[in-house]
Structure 1
């Protein structure tokens, strides 16, 4: 199985996350493969990120977090940061075509994309404090510029799930379409982009990154704090509870 499938469709490059058995959650090699595909897509007019098997992306894979090591976690965190940076540094508009769940880092991937079209089946939300982590690469900072601070804190702290229509109302996605119309509608958006100047779209995108760039240092700071928490009781309990499909029992604060 290829973790990441890359296809040229006319003027657009489609990047498909292809680990449906884990809802397209990525490990470090898969995150690097997605980043490589984004960096290789500069000659296209637009880029689409989507998922296979009825999911968009469940973020970073949690299978190793019940017995984490500093080395492995640093690798996953750095790969995650490279992936999101690659979305923002890609000179072409990057569109999230969201079907099924966009959870945790998958929701932050939607935050990073320039545009997002959701199928009606799509759901959105963060998982950090529920699974012994924190969404420091988008949801605790940039998300507030997209949906407002109180709503962003609600999403990041309370780990609620939001429907596609709710995400549209919040401003997290641009539009919602029927599931069977998702790829066709995104292809129409790509055709719309094809009629525009690549040079001036790139200038527009670089200029629009002002809030992302302002928050960028906080990503590294947040990841540093996450690394220091590797192996903590909260991390181990959160990941173990997730894998065992039960409610976590976090220790009381010291």
Structure 2
């Protein structure tokens, strides 16, 4: 049985009966790029020997979504690759036969929040924050937040997150139903390990059946993911995309052109 690939940007390790996947680009708040997505997808495809999977971050951040550095000078090829890699990552989480738990140890923003949506369960540190960033940075959260998140927390709440781009503390995320539990920061990983030990007492065969059957809403929304990504590709290089990305990188408020 092959060993999952490990790179400096993604640290993969076995802990008890679980596979832990740690995003390791703290200098950019663990924003993922296509190479990181590919490494995680490979690990998930080789995860049958484990009883559960945990995805977490390093350096006090969970995940800031897709890396925005290239959006200020976008190319269709690069961004299409990033979009498709993001969707492949989320699909791999959903198709993995083992439960995937998000251990949210810091900010889950943009695609990082959608990563939480894709996971089967989520446990948040008390200092964690959640929120979408799309319209603020010249993008749109079409791979989970505009569709599946509505099933998880309700349509009105999902639109609030997707459209207003506010940031929510962990306790509020718990109240909305975005995460299962909130625990003190210093016990997050120990608590998640305890949760994973519960999976050891359960049938992997019937957990897989339960998970596959629970993907009804994800599968129903799958076409909307592809359609949304197609629209994002058509908008590459737009004034809104470039201004949103530059404002994000320059840490200032965006000045979008007037609506047409």
**What's the TM-score once normalised by structure 2's chain length?**
0.97
Alignment equivalent of 2:74, drawn from 65, 68, 75: 68
Query: Aligned with 1:64: secondary structure?
Result: helix
Structure 1, gaps ≥5 residues long: none
State which drifts further: 36-45 or 150-159: 36-45
Q: Structure 1, residues 128-162: CA drift from partner, whole Å, max 9, x if none?
A: 00000000000000000000000000000000001
Alignment equivalent of 1:52, drawn from 46, 52, 58: 58
* Cα root mean square deviation, aligned: 0.6
Q: CA deviation at 1:35?
A: 1.2
2:186 corresponds to which residue? Answer: 180
Aligned length: 254
2:117 corresponds to which residue? Answer: 111
2:4 corresponds to which residue? Answer: none
2:220 corresponds to which residue? Answer: 214
Q: Structure 1, residues 10-53: CA drift from partner, whole Å, max 9, x if none?
A: 11000000000000001111111111111111210000000000
1:145 corresponds to which residue? Answer: 151
2:137 corresponds to which residue? Answer: 131
Structure 2, gaps ≥5 residues long: 1-6
1:19 aligns with 2:25: yes
Query: Aligned with 1:80: secondary structure?
Result: helix
Cα distance in 2 for partners of 1:235, 1:131 equals 7
**What's the TM-score once normalised by structure 1's chain length?**
0.99
Alignment equivalent of 2:229, drawn from 189, 209, 223: 223
Query: Aligned with 2:72: secondary structure?
Result: coil
Task: Provide runs of 4+ in structure 1 moved above 4 Å.
Answer: none
Cα distance in 2 for partners of 1:39, 1:109 equals 17
Query: Aligned with 1:138: secondary structure?
Result: coil
